[in-house]
Amino acid sequence: MSITPRIVISIAEVPEWEDEAYLKRAFRLEVIHQVCQCTEGCLASTCACGTLHLNEDIVWIEREYLDGNRFIPIVMDFERKAQSIICYRLNDILVEKKSPCGCGSLFLALEMKRVELAREG
């Protein structure tokens, strides 16, 4: 038996590139969509082009830049009713995409890399 989903969405962590490549091959898809949902909020999701964008309509994310395009996100979620997330510095490094996304979204586009801060040394 084989299945042919129209869309596959990875939730929570960004998948390893090997896993993403496997899923693309297995389901004959060009894009594995992603929703970066964690305790701190629903931080980012992919658009129709497959680019990961910050969900700047529901969370405010300050950027503590490490260089020209890598930054540590500091999250503020003003919509929560419990477990406030205010100026919460994540243990991740996000990489800002320098070329605009074809979808036309004004929300910040990210490279599909998410590096644990601890691994940076």
Residues within the interface to Zn ion (CB under 5 A): 47, 49, 51, 101, 103, 105
Q: Which is nearer to Zn ion, 95 or 103 (CB)?
A: 103
Provide, rounded to whole angstroms, the least separation between the CB of residue 33 and Zn ion. Answer: 11
Q: Under 8 Å CB-to-CB from 26, ≥6 apart: which residues? A: none
Q: Which is nearer to Zn ion, 35 or 66 (CB)?
A: 35
Tell which residue, 59, 62, 64, has the closest CA to residue 38. Answer: 59
Q: Which is nearer to Zn ion, 88 or 96 (CB)?
A: 96
Backbone dihedral angles phi then psi of residue 64, each to the nearest 5 degrees: -95, 95
Provide, rounded to whole angstroms, the least separation between the CB of residue 105 and Zn ion. Answer: 5
Provide, rounded to whole angstroms, the least separation between the CB of residue 103 and Zn ion. Answer: 3
Q: Which is nearer to Zn ion, 93 or 109 (CB)?
A: 109
Q: Residues 75-93, buried b or exposed e (16+ Cβ, 10 A)? A: bbbeeeeeeebeeeebebb
Burial class (CB in 10 A: 0-12, 13-18, 19+), 115: middle
Provide, rounded to whole angstroms, the least separation between the CB of residue 41 and Zn ion. Answer: 20
